Amino acid sequence: MPHIVSVLVPTPKQSHLPDALSYWAENDLCAGTLVKVPLGPREVLGIVWHASTAPHEPKAGARTTDLKWISCVIEGFPALSQGWLELVAFSAQYYQRSLGEVALWGMPPQLKNLSAQQIQKRLERWQQQLSPPLGAKARPATNKRSRACAAQDPVALDTAPQSTPARVLATPPLLSAEQQQALNDIGANPGPFLLFGSTGSGKTEVYLQAIQALFERDSLAQALIMVPEINLTPQLQARVRERFAPLWGEHSIVCLHSGLTPAQRLKSWLAAHFGQARVVLGTRMSIFASIPRLQIIIVDEEHDVSYKQQEGARYSARDLAVYRARLENARVILGSATPSLESWHHSQASTVPGVKPRYQLVAMPSRIGNASLAQVHRVDMNHQPRKTVFSIPLLKAIESRLKAREQVLIVLNRRGYAPVLQCNSCGWKTRCQHCSAFKVFHKLDRTLRCHHCGQTERVPKACPVCADQDIGMLGLGTQQLEEQLQAALLSMGQELGREMTIERIDADSTQAKGSLEERLERMHAGDIDVLIGTQMIAKGHDFRRVTLVAAIDVDQALFSNDFRACERLFALLMQAGGRAGRDAHLTLARPSEMWLQTHHPKHALFEALKTHDYVRFATDQLRERALANMPPFSSQALIRVEARTAHAALGYLNELHTQGSSLLQEASELEPGSSFEDIFLYSAVPMQMQKLANVERYQLLIESSSRAHLQRFLRRLHEPLRALKKKHPGVLRWVIDVDPQSL
């Protein structure tokens, strides 16, 4: 007898369609079953959302007769777990998106694009490739409730790996006292944990052993390790493999990130979904992977902004990790030497007596082998000749390290040769016509390139305004640093009888596939003397022979109008400094060094940095944020609008402001003390990058002391947001960014 099932489909964004569509199905299907359904002219992947409770008889004349039939069930797949469905439901609700969009967003493209038969073939091939074959005879799912839903108990998965006890024991190192204490704490408490461990304190080892401890208790358990950027962490990947492959085989570790081919992505996804993969290592997208026996989630470098998705559903994978862990009764460890102020705040004792902090703080202040942290030197650039790139004391320090065959790291947060060319006679600058930004000079091909819209042109021979040929450079880029340093080290190289190898890592120099990995490898092998780069080189790397790190030209962020800029800069500098002196032997005789060139050497940020005092920095910042009622003491959301003209964008947002305000007004009149009373609407303002590729961008900030109230209010805005768009045809799109990471 036919049933009606509701199915999540990729509904067009911001449409009026309900979250799930109803279809006829031959049999009852349990929630989480993968199906193909017709949607408009297409056939799309769908996920059964609600199982209907009773069969429906199609009645003549009833509206149900308009319903279409599902095309087919994708056979051989266990249903997605209840926990996964709840994660999707929460994410859609919290980040103000449609259920269908969020549910299908993280699905591998091949599952979405291939036909049911093709998927079947892929599944069979994947199962054959596994050795030993794991119940490979893709058993046709009968779609009977009993069968299809058996998969909700992941133990019943057809292809779950056999629980062979570990034969070859990988050999973990003897733990430091702090590592051991951290592991004990993690083992004995439910968490969530904030693992606050200095750079080089051995956090990775704690992750690996925490995972191993869980695996020893449950031989089918699965782990998720999230990293900000997979290309930057080949070392971590290697260590995970080295530790777990001997225990559970090569197939037991899979990666999930956007750089995989569609075929690889499908394979990784299947391995996680079928329980074959014991460790899933991935970027933010992997938070939506189906991992039915998930027991532990690691969020490495939890402060990293890459955990926030910047388009579509703008989720925070770190925040969802905490939520998912609670849903699945799994452990979650957020690890960092410079935790985000949000996480730090949650780990601190509440001012309300008796209220436990939300996260349990686990601290590892010492470095492995008691290597000391770098000594911080500040160069006051006010006392250096104008246009100095490398100050004399810094150059001397670099030379001394290179002579000892140690390595040097130089961080500049800007790529390109010099950000801007300027006419020295009339002041003309290389502004992009399409964006509110300057084009950057790239020396190699002598072009001016906009890093925002990509627009590229040849460098003009003369100023286009006054025809003067005296065009000079403003500011610094990584290419220029490389050149300057090459020149500065020339004579030293001659003296030593070997040429210094200077390499650069930034988005430009690593476009070719594999070139980033190649450079990192050479750095680890000691074949590079000086590595110059953007923040890419400051993250997580365990370079053993680096003893000097220098940050050039860091002042911009001190005066940004984004209230998080100081937090970012502090983390960047702490992390960069953390690359120095990781080998205790090298630093015994002479401590490693961190150099800062700044015009504001007395700034509180540098004072805290000098003593490696994250806690002091965080406490100061949190005090300021509390006074100003900023996150984490309030919740924020941005309504962002893109329009053809500034007029259209502003008109739209101003009208939204009026309507939103009257919503708030009504609520407080109808119901004094209502949940909307603590909501504040700011006026619409242009985004920092107001114009991008000829599109005008404006935003409106909404703030509330309560997340829940903000959530409810945002829901109420969807209707006016949609209606106003019809009224303002110049508006191209709107989006809600919950917990925005940059203003």
Contact residues for Zn ion, defined by CB under 5 A: 423, 425-426, 428, 432, 434-435, 450, 452-453, 455, 463, 465-466, 468
The answer to whether 29 and 35 have CB atoms below 8 angstroms apart is yes
Please state, in angstroms and rounded to a whole number, the distance separating the CA atoms of residues 337 and 194.
10
The answer to whether 605 and 569 have CB atoms below 8 angstroms apart is yes
Return the residues of window 424-463 that contact ligand ADP according to CB under 6 A. Answer: none
Site for ligand ADP contains 229 (CB under 6 A): no
Piece in contact with ligand ADP (CB under 6 A), picked from 33-41, 76-84, 167-175, 687-695: 167-175
Residue 361 C-beta: closest distance to ligand ADP, Å: 16
- Residues 79/111/251/33 CA torsion (nearest 10 deg): 0
Instruction: Out of 542, 562, 655, 678, point to the residue binding ligand ADP (CB under 6 A).
Output: 542
If the CB atoms of residues 324 and 367 are measured against ligand ADP, the closer one turns out to be 367
Instruction: Out of 10, 202, 416, 651, point to the residue binding ligand ADP (CB under 6 A).
Output: 202
Q: Give the one entry of ligand ADP, Zn ion, none that residue 176 binds, where binding means its C-beta sits below a cut-off of 5 to 8 angstroms depending on kind.
A: ligand ADP
Residue 471 C-beta: closest distance to Zn ion, Å: 8
Residue 462 C-beta: closest distance to ligand ADP, Å: 51
Site for ligand ADP contains 370 (CB under 6 A): no
Annotate 707-737 with b (16+ C-beta within 10 A) or e (fewer): eebbbebbeebeeebeebbeebeebeebbbb
If the CB atoms of residues 239 and 644 are measured against ligand ADP, the closer one turns out to be 239
| C-alpha to C-alpha distances, 660 to 347, 461, 589, 655, nearest whole angstrom | 35, 53, 64, 8
Both tokens assigned to 637: 């959301």
Residue 581 C-beta: closest distance to ligand ADP, Å: 11
Residue 740 C-beta: closest distance to ligand ADP, Å: 28
Instruction: Out of 83, 197, 339, 416, point to the residue binding ligand ADP (CB under 6 A).
Output: 197
Write the CB contacts of 511 (distance below 8 Å, at least 6 apart in sequence): none
Site for ligand ADP contains 577 (CB under 6 A): no
Terminal-to-terminal C-alpha distance of the chain: 55
Residue 103 C-beta: closest distance to ligand ADP, Å: 34
Site for ligand ADP contains 233 (CB under 6 A): no
Site for ligand ADP contains 243 (CB under 6 A): no
Site for ligand ADP contains 175 (CB under 6 A): yes
Please state, in angstroms and rounded to a whole number, the distance separating the CA atoms of residues 578 and 580.
5
Please state, in angstroms and rounded to a whole number, the distance separating the CA atoms of residues 365 and 367.
7
Site for ligand ADP contains 256 (CB under 6 A): no
Site for ligand ADP contains 201 (CB under 6 A): yes
Residue 365 C-beta: closest distance to ligand ADP, Å: 11
Q: Give the one entry of Zn ion, ligand ADP, none that residue 680 binds, where binding means its C-beta sits below a cut-off of 5 to 8 angstroms depending on kind.
A: none
If the CB atoms of residues 91 and 338 are measured against ligand ADP, the closer one turns out to be 338
Say which amino acid occupies 491.
S
Residue 546 C-beta: closest distance to ligand ADP, Å: 12
Site string for ligand ADP, 125-164 (x = CB under 6 A): ----------------------------------------
- Residues 92/256/250/274 CA torsion (nearest 10 deg): 30
If the CB atoms of residues 199 and 360 are measured against ligand ADP, the closer one turns out to be 199
Q: Give the one entry of Zn ion, ligand ADP, none that residue 179 binds, where binding means its C-beta sits below a cut-off of 5 to 8 angstroms depending on kind.
A: ligand ADP
Write the CB contacts of 725 (distance below 8 Å, at least 6 apart in sequence): 652, 731, 734
What values do phi and psi take at 282, rounded to 5? -155, 175
Annotate 144-156 with b (16+ C-beta within 10 A) or e (fewer): eeeebbbbbebee
Nearest to 733 by CA among 312, 436, 434, 315: 312
Please state, in angstroms and rounded to a whole number, the distance separating the CA atoms of residues 580 and 371.
10
If the CB atoms of residues 465 and 490 are measured against Zn ion, the closer one turns out to be 465
Site for ligand ADP contains 478 (CB under 6 A): no
Site for ligand ADP contains 480 (CB under 6 A): no
Residue 212 C-beta: closest distance to ligand ADP, Å: 14
Q: Give the one entry of Zn ion, ligand ADP, none that residue 423 binds, where binding means its C-beta sits below a cut-off of 5 to 8 angstroms depending on kind.
A: Zn ion
Piece in contact with ligand ADP (CB under 6 A), picked from 170-178, 485-493, 632-640, 658-666: 170-178
Instruction: Out of 203, 519, 612, 725, point to the residue binding ligand ADP (CB under 6 A).
Output: 203
Please state, in angstroms and rounded to a whole number, the distance separating the CA atoms of residues 89 and 94.
9
Nearest to 204 by CA among 286, 318, 299: 299
Say which amino acid occupies 627.
L
The answer to whether 709 and 740 have CB atoms below 8 angstroms apart is no
Q: At 482, which helix (H) or strand (E)? A: helix 478-496
Site for ligand ADP contains 200 (CB under 6 A): yes
Piece in contact with ligand ADP (CB under 6 A), picked from 85-93, 117-125, 200-208, 623-631: 200-208
Residue 478 C-beta: closest distance to ligand ADP, Å: 24
Please state, in angstroms and rounded to a whole number, the distance separating the CA atoms of residues 552 and 597.
5
Cβ neighbours, 10 Å, residue 333: 28
Residue 179 C-beta: closest distance to ligand ADP, Å: 6
Both tokens assigned to 199: 């750079």
Site for ligand ADP contains 391 (CB under 6 A): no
Instruction: Out of 159, 204, 290, 480, point to the residue binding ligand ADP (CB under 6 A).
Output: 204
Residue 411, sorted as left (phi over 0), alpha (psi -120 to 50) or beta, turns out to be beta
Say which amino acid occupies 732.
L
If the CB atoms of residues 29 and 536 are measured against ligand ADP, the closer one turns out to be 536
- Kindly tell me the burial class for residue 694, based on how many C-beta atoms sit within 10 Å of its own C-beta (0-12, 13-18, 19 or more): exposed
Q: Give the one entry of Zn ion, ligand ADP, none that residue 205 binds, where binding means its C-beta sits below a cut-off of 5 to 8 angstroms depending on kind.
A: ligand ADP
What values do phi and psi take at 604, rounded to 5? -55, -30
| C-alpha to C-alpha distances, 51 to 44, 55, 63, 190, 464, nearest whole angstrom | 19, 10, 19, 33, 68
If the CB atoms of residues 22 and 209 are measured against ligand ADP, the closer one turns out to be 209
Locus of tokens 């590729």:
693
If the CB atoms of residues 542 and 677 are measured against ligand ADP, the closer one turns out to be 542
Site for ligand ADP contains 368 (CB under 6 A): yes
Residue 434 C-beta: closest distance to Zn ion, Å: 4
Site for ligand ADP contains 482 (CB under 6 A): no
Instruction: Out of 173, 312, 357, 464, point to the residue binding ligand ADP (CB under 6 A).
Output: 173
- Kindly tell me the burial class for residue 584, based on how many C-beta atoms sit within 10 Å of its own C-beta (0-12, 13-18, 19 or more): middle
Cβ neighbours, 10 Å, residue 529: 23
Site for ligand ADP contains 338 (CB under 6 A): no
Please state, in angstroms and rounded to a whole number, the distance separating the CA atoms of residues 24 and 725.
35
If the CB atoms of residues 253 and 485 are measured against ligand ADP, the closer one turns out to be 253
Nearest to 308 by CA among 299, 625, 411: 299
The contact set with ligand ADP (CB under 6 A) reads 173-176, 179, 197, 199-205, 368, 542
